[in-house]
A and B are shown apart, each in its own frame.
Chain A
Amino acid sequence: MAKFSLNINGKTQEVDVDPNTPMLWVLRDHLKLVGTKYGCGISQCGSCTIHLSGIAVRACMLTVSAVGNQEVTTIEGLSENGDHPVQKAWLEVDVPQCGYCQAGQIMTAAALLEKNPNPSDSEIEMAMNGNICRCGTYVRIKKAVKMAANSES
């Protein structure tokens, strides 16, 4: 066990955990930030996507000891009132079916738009390909990403 001081959603959070613990479980079990989802544990499904210094990463294979003092943003911290353009577009398009993967989808989409405010269809597909939606909402996800892009530009 070791103590870590983490910068999560703009707040400093202390945890005392095994240094090999993935951020996914630090967030979910220790900090009760359960918006970041467990889907596969091997970076294949994207349900656990968070931002590390603004870059979309999979929290299930990111150990707590590798985070250091980098800024961590989770779905809970993406916006103050759930009004990030991507979240607003998701609501407008009414994307979710079961909803389980959507936090990961939104985090990947938000990181994409940060880097590339006007992505083409194929750029959206490439960026989002690591996020599985078992319900098959891909067509709506793409529509919402484009809507968010247009609202930002």
Chain B
Amino acid sequence: MTTRKTLILTTAIALCATGTVAQDVTLTIESWRNDDITIWRNQIIPAFEAAHDGISLDFQPMAPAQYNSALNSKLDAGTAGDIITCRAFDASLQLFERGQLADLTDLDGMANYSDVARSAWSTDDGAQTFCVPVASVIHGFIYNAEIFAELGLEVPTTEDEFFAVLDAIEADGSYIPMAMGINDQWEAATMGYANIGVNFWNGEDGRAALIAGESRLTDDAWVEPFRQLARWSTYLGRGFESQSYPDSQNLFTLGRAAIYPAGSWEIAGFREQADFEMGAFPPPVPAGTDGCFISDHTDMGIGLNAASPNQEAGRIFLEWLSSDEFANLFANAVPGFFPLSSAEVTLEDPLAQEFLGWREQCESTIRPFHQIVSRGTPNLSNESWTAAANVMRGTWTPEEAGEALQSGLSSWYEPHQ
């Protein structure tokens, strides 16, 4: 009797012991990137799990439109996953300030990132970082190389050449010069304003001046991009006012439009959908400027839920995220989302490599209204969507757009009062 009891007891202890050694932990990853679900399940997760016994990953993406509100609700109630995909700037900063994201400043891998890369997921003074910077997206223009060859067009580098190319395509009449609509509004602000504007407000300098209150949105540097957008309207398809974002994508990939104002994230989708050669060029520079800028926007980070019971395993995963291995894996699996780490990355996709190459020629900056100046009501970034779309629709003049944005900003932002 006693021996049997002892036996059971020792077996139980042994079982417990093995349990702690190879304790299986599953980390649930919250993400808005349901477009990437197959990439995570087939490439990223197997790569991680192969190297890390006892930690498995569960990628649970949702539709991007619900992400912020659903995530916030789950964090508030304590049911969110262990790993949180971080939006850039204030949305994540707020989570950190509420104590919902763990402080990752002391993560070894953080050394692999520049201050600029970390800025999107750091406190304003840069002292604390709470998400590992994962990817940036670069703006530019993708063009249909076959149409360009057919019409004998050169890739434009200056603003004048750009409009000359558009005129030539329009004169030919077989193709829509540029595929863009304003029904969803954000294209006008993102692929339009933030894309070409960098050369007018001189990238980071202009952005810093705006934050400091030294530059106003009614200045030429900020109004001129609106004037450019107003000129774009004539080159867009019929009824562009209600052309939606997927409409534009399909218009281009079906070969009906020559130029597509793009973000690099389009590359993967376009590769799959288009059956013609594509090329890309950075935003054309205005006459009389030397040097160029690109919008190389910090878009996605990954952090750790402060309430997660698996802090240790979570940190192991995040260290792996900051490794060169992950940077290469991710950059090639999702061409168009460029790693932010200082790792040497070689891209197999020539179009993605083209975008990435601009980092050498031009100075990088992020979208102008993302840091600090969109912290109040009205929200400058969201207002800029409406303003850019209104300008393209022709209901606002570029000057009116500048004034509307400035008065909104002045209404709450001290450096502008």
Q: Is chain B a partner of chain A in the same complex?
A: no
- Give A residues with C-beta under 8 Å from B: none
